[in-house]
Amino acid sequence: MPTQQKNLFTKLLKWRYKHISDKNFTHILSILVGLLAGLASVTLKNLTFFISSSLETGIVFSSNQLYFILPILGLTLVYLYVKYIHKEKIEHAVSSILFALSRKKSLIKLKKIYSPLITAPLTVGFGGSVGLLGPAVASGAAISSNLGRILHVNAKTRSLLIACASAGAIASIFQSPIAAIIFAVEVFSLDFTMLSVLPLLLASISGVLTSYFFLGNEVLFKFSLTDNFEIKDTLFYILLGVGTAIASIYFTKMYFGILTLFKPLKSPKYRLLVGGLAIGIMLYFIPPLYGEGFGFINNLLEGNHLKAIGTTPFDAYRNNIWVVISLLFGLTIFKAVAMTTTFAAGGSGGIFIPTMVMGSALGNVVAKVINNLGLGFSVSESNFTLIGMAGLIAGVLHAPLTAIFLIAEITGGYELFVPLMITASISYLITKNAVDHSIYTRELAESGNLLTHNKDKTVLTLMELDDVIEDNFKVIHPEMTLGDMLLKSVSKSTRNIYPVVDDSKALVGIVLLDDIREFMFDRALYKTTKVETFMHQAPDYIFYGDDSMQIVMQKFQNSGAWNLPVIKKGKYMGFVSKSKLLTAYRRKLINFTE
């Protein structure tokens, strides 16, 4: 930045500090962030639509039923971009944001603003079976993080702005401002207070208005509610809740299972080739797996299941309703496979919309089975299609409130609120008991980097071990005599604990001042007694890089010790004292909750 511009920017910041309070400045930024996140979402949608429509009209693939080879072309373009321009592995959008919140002080690289706007349209526009919501949230989050960094806001405010960006992106894509706010609270573990809700509300409104400005009244789902909830259908909605819970567990396990299956393929080229071919084969037999799948959902909501299924090798049997049900159930099974294979092959996208597609198919299948069993039952297939989406969102993402309000806003009313609550709550409860963490959070939770609504765990996650390690302890050696220890270490130390290390700097034991107190003044022992006589093992050890702060706190609690040694790659590093740890914890807690 030129000196003149830098000076002007500095003056503007000083003016802001004098005339605009931090709270009001946060509100202004939340509106701006919502607008920018909405613009990113609109850009993402339009780029993807341009690519997909160009392929449909400009190439004869669709008429010749050769569209199934397109995903491998899109994945190849993504691979080339990542290798030669981006030069970093594509990360899962929401998981990487959560990691930035917990471990990077809400700082996100500048390149993550535009990278999702390139890789996601190439992936989805060419038929990759993933969604656009994750990349939209990722781009918005990067915008808000870098905006906050430039304007010198603190890490806590940057975290709030990132949540605002996610609300703005979701509100823009779905035109559902309430669900957008709730998603930010549920997924990013924000406290539901006016301090957080008002900025989220402003960002959400800003995102919705952006969508209306550029897209008008165009909506993703063309649906008008015609069948109201009937009490006699309650049992069927309970059944749907159980079914979506089972599907959610399957979805989650399949996601991690396929990613594990691809791990032996070290080369991105091999992953691209294997994954691209696998996606192509699935698309040939189940065409609705192509792309995001909003058209599939809309066709089901309109009652046109034949159009939803598309042209398949089983067209001769589509007059049989049970063949239709089998094909729809096949999509339910293979949507998770196709989505994860797209990720494993190097594609970029999100899991939110594939979850909705899978849920809509399952809900429609359940309704069709009930209506065609010949037992005299009749339920609304469009309602079950919608509520099936809510059940999958609640189970897969562990976000039941987001699921309920999103579908309620899509329907334009709350007539289905009761069945939504029934299905979403049952799906969430069963899934949560079977799978502790969602796809977004599992790896972060296992590494101790996950922020939750539990303030104690969140504060410990935000703490850094480096901040509490003390290294001003006098190191002694096992062969050192008592006299040398007293002269070179004890007399020059203000501590009452002495780490004993060998020649390779590995900790072999510790000596406490109490261990040598009764021998300190016996000069006869100064040259004949060695340190190894007094040393003993520490009550426990802290392993740098492996132990989270939660584990560290637990080790202090279990051992009852006041000081524990820190080991890094097998070598002594320093000590952590309980008093310093608790002081740091209290400071972080005050900063987090004020």
Q: Which residues pair with 576 in a beta bridge?
A: 469, 564
CA distance 465 to 449: 13
> What H or E segment, with its residue span, contains residue 469?
strand 469-470
108: tokens are 């996100």
CB 397 within 8 A of CB 338: no
Q: Do domains 3-215 and 231-448 have the same CATH topology?
A: yes
Helix axes of 381-396 and 400-411: crossing angle, nearest 10 degrees? 150
Class of domain 457-593: alpha beta
Task: Report how many helices (DSSP H) and strands (DSSP E) the chain contains, helices first.
Answer: 24, 6
3-state class percentages of the chain: helix first, strand second, coil last, to nearest 5: 65, 5, 25
Q: How many CB atoms lie within 10 A of CB 438?
A: 22
Q: What is the pTM of this model?
A: 0.79
Residue-by-residue pLDDT tens, the chain, 594 positions: 566 666 777 777 787 778 788 888 889 999 999 999 999 999 999 999 898 888 876 553 444 456 678 888 999 999 999 989 988 888 877 888 888 877 788 889 999 999 999 999 999 999 888 989 999 999 999 999 999 898 888 888 888 999 999 999 999 998 888 999 999 888 876 665 667 789 999 999 999 999 888 877 666 666 677 777 888 889 999 999 999 999 999 999 999 999 999 989 888 889 999 998 999 888 888 888 888 888 888 888 888 888 888 777 777 777 888 888 999 999 999 999 999 999 999 999 999 999 999 999 999 999 999 999 888 888 989 899 999 999 999 999 999 999 999 988 887 767 888 999 999 999 999 999 998 888 888 877 776 666 555 565 666 667 788 888 888 888 888 888 888 888 888 888 888 888 998 888 899 888 888 888 888 888 888 888 888 888 889 889 999 988 888 888 889 888 888 889 999 988 999 998 888 888 887 777 766 655
Q: In a 3-state reduction of DSSP, which class is residue 508?
A: strand
Which fold is adopted by the domain 3-215? Clc chloride channel (1.10.3080)
Positive or negative: CA dihedral 453, 456, 460, 462: positive
Q: Which sequence spans correspond to the domains of the chain?
A: 3-215, 231-448, 457-593
Q: Which CATH class is domain 231-448?
A: mainly alpha
**Of 146, 196, 147, whose CA–CA distance to 167 is shortest?**
196
